[in-house]
Amino acid sequence: MASAAAPAQAGGVVAAPEYEEVLGRLSSLITQKVRAHSGNRGNQWDLMAHYLKILELEEPIARMKVIHVAGTKGKGSTCTFTESILRSSGFHTGLFTSPHLMDVRERFRLDGVDISEEKFLKYFWWCWNKLKEKTDDDIPMPAYFRFLALLAFKIFSAEQVDVAVLEVGLGGKFDATNVVEAPVVCGVSSLGFDHMEILGNTLGEIAGEKAGIFKKGIPAYTAPQPEEAMVALKKRASELGISLQVADPLEPYHLKGQHLGLHGEHQYINAGLAVALASTWLEKQGQMDRIPINRTDPLPDHFIQGLSNASLQGRAQIVPDSQINSGVNKDSSLVFYLDGAHSPESMEICAKWFSHVTNDDRRIPSSTEQSQSSKSRKILLFNCMSVRDPMRLLPHLLDVSTQNGVFFDVALFVPNQSQYNKLGSNTSAPAEPEQIDLSWQLSLQTVWEKLLQDKGTNSANSSDSSQVFASLPLAVEWLRKDARENQSTSFQVLVTGSLHLVGDVLRLIKK
């Protein structure tokens, strides 16, 4: 158990020294190579077979009933919906997703709950010690994501789940999760441009990589796709002699007046794919009486319950800042709208969602006396990883927001707190401002200012329309100070561009 003197863990919980040690060991597996480096790809993929042998996982994986999902956008949501439907149907479920936002244990859910610290430590050491003992220069320790995938297989086999829902990390063909040779069903969520430095420059190339999870004799479903992507998916399916079926998006009437647990119009697409995957899995288990009979009637109750109870942090999530929205400050309001969008298409979806929910907020009169005079300030808090092209992200965000009547009063650019390569709870930005390289954030600011200029909406003084902060805590403190000083204004902060940034913000405001 954690002692009182133990360091605070991500998410504000106290972490035991042993847990800190484990996070340190995991951090040591994060390769410093650029993700596009060939060493991260297929030429080392055959090492996975060695790792499975060392961990005695070949048999357990062969026996495991797996639902395998690849895609660019919505694969985590699709997996979450699928797991929730099957859990509502009474099955013992395992769910493996990535990345995590506050704690690595979020990646491993048993029956809808993050794995306990005690179980996590037990299975971690089991895998770590076996691999340490048997790896050498020829077969090095697995890289970070591969280790986590192996750990997931160990957890789900040892916990004897009825079904394991696995989200592909990157691509498909050479992903660590693709050691599953006979899943029950495969799915591909919406495809778009992402990780192009690894997966290819055209939608066809990207789709070809994702279709690498298809297997002979295994049913496959896809969300509706752009023509070029669909052609590539169908080509791979026909090479394997399998039918690829398109799962239609759900309609509100399918849910009998209930709302999806994950917000945003696009979630009807992910929910439609999840219904197809869960139905196929149930059918394969001989549970024909529990699946939807046709697409025209409302769904069975256990499907609706699963879809409406699904939850996933950092996707269209609204979190009021408890420091500002409580006690003496009940008239001030600072609310964070968090969405880990990081591709051009998801930027558009994110902008639509933010516009929709903040416009709705405006229509709901507040109970305070000041509601007549209250104003709202829209603020963008943004960062993206330097492998992404801000010219593919920021214009989509700005255009769709503007079309929906949302204009940002100011945009704030910050480095991620976690800097991607630290896992422990002591993770923080360097103490000395001069140690922090803000060149990337300054270039994001330049792109933003240029976009505003082209639209003719920027002020004469750019410091009014955007700012760069040396750290996220400084930006949040600045926002809190502004909210305290302007009590009749509601501050609506859209946090997007990076799931890591979203996780960092959650960690800060939930402390």
Annotated binding site: 98, 167, 195, 315, 339
Residues 192, 170: Cα–Cα separation, whole Å = 13
Residue keyed to tokens 């509100």: 252
Three-state DSSP at 31 gives: coil
Residue keyed to tokens 């499975």: 52
CB atoms < 10 A from the CB of 385, how many?
15
Cα–Cα nearest to 182, from 47, 66, 82: 66
Q: List the beta bridge partners of residue 333.
A: 490
Cα–Cα nearest to 71, from 242, 281, 269, 249: 269
β-pairing, 466-468 with 489-496? unpaired
Residue keyed to tokens 């778009």: 192
- How far is C-alpha 506 from the geometric centre of its chain's CA atoms? 13
Binding residues for ATP: 315, 339
Residues 447, 444: Cα–Cα separation, whole Å = 5
Residues 121, 131: Cα–Cα separation, whole Å = 15
Residue keyed to tokens 């940002």: 408
Residues 374, 486: Cα–Cα separation, whole Å = 10
Q: Are 255 and 308 in contact (CB under 8 A)?
A: yes
Residues 477, 200: Cα–Cα separation, whole Å = 41
Cα–Cα nearest to 42, from 156, 150, 157, 146: 146
Residues 434, 32: Cα–Cα separation, whole Å = 23
Provide Rg for the chain, Cα atoms: 23
Binding residues for Mg(2+): 98, 167, 195
Q: Which residue stretches of 135-176 are H helix?
A: 144-158
Three-state DSSP at 221 gives: strand
In angstroms, what CA-CA distances link 215 with 62, 96, 112, 240?
Answer: 14, 20, 27, 7
Q: Are 353 and 77 in contact (CB under 8 A)?
A: no
Residues 305, 311: Cα–Cα separation, whole Å = 12
In angstroms, what CA-CA distances link 18 with 14, 118, 121, 148?
Answer: 12, 10, 8, 18
Reported as type and span, the H/E element at residue 164 is strand 163-167
